[in-house]
Amino acid sequence: MQGGMQKLLMGGSVIFLLLVLVNIGLFTTNQNQQGLVAERGQYIQQSLGLEKVYQPLVRALAELAATRNDGQIKTLLNEQGISFNAAPQQPTANN
């Protein structure tokens, strides 16, 4: 009887130890993932402040590419996923 109870307690202890080790591993992984999410959130917050600079810059580049028909600028903008259509120029009335 004594030997059976000892084996049962030993088995329970081994299972408990394995569960503790799994818990430690999951805790460490969770902390690492939370750190990555925090870094990404910080990047997004910082990027929002730069949007005020990027939007006029992209608009100016698009206008420059359209007025000068500059293929290099068009290619640069297309590589960044920015496409634009040049508005047709209005004919000027000469009096």
Res 10: pLDDT: 95
Res 3: pLDDT: 84
Low-confidence ranges of the chain (pLDDT < 70): 1, 86-95
Res 90: pLDDT: 59
Res 6: pLDDT: 93
Res 94: pLDDT: 59
Asked whether the CA dihedral 18, 23, 26, 28 is positive or negative, the reply is negative
Asked whether the CA dihedral 35, 36, 41, 42 is positive or negative, the reply is positive
Res 32: pLDDT: 98
pTM value > 0.95 = no
Q: How many CB atoms lie within 10 A of CB 80?
A: 10
